Amino acid sequence: MALFGWDRFNATLSADARPLTVAEIEDEVERFERFIEAFSGAEAVEHVFAYVVVRIADGDPLTNVQKWYELDEGEDHGHYRLYSSRLRTTEF
């Protein structure tokens, strides 16, 4: 919900709180899908991260991440898996 602002749907934070609509959520999903498709090696170099966290119930949603980063075997922490990551050294 942070995409929309915490004050958007929490009446204790804003007098203008209102529920998210299905259309708003679908629009954000489409924007994120376009972001993933357009993500390049040049952007990976600019946004290096050391860890990746995924929800175990989601299976293996790491295909795109593994294009740009090498991941270790991961550690389970409750419902989540924590991976250490390292930028791949191959040319982009």
Residue 9 — very low, low, confident or very high, per pLDDT cuts 50/70/90?
Answer: low
Q: What is residue 6's predicted lDDT score, i.e. its pLDDT?
A: 66
pLDDT in tens, 55-78: 999 887 788 889 899 999 999 999
φ, ψ dihedrals at 62, nearest 5° = -105, 5
The residues, any chain, with a CB within 8 Å of residue 79's CB and separated by 6 or more, are: 55, 56, 57
d(CA 17, CA 11): 5
**Nearest-CA neighbor of 25 among 11, 39, 9, 40?**
9
Would the pLDDT of 92 be above 60? no
Q: What is residue 25's predicted lDDT score, i.e. its pLDDT?
A: 87
Give me the residues paired with residue 51 across strands: 84
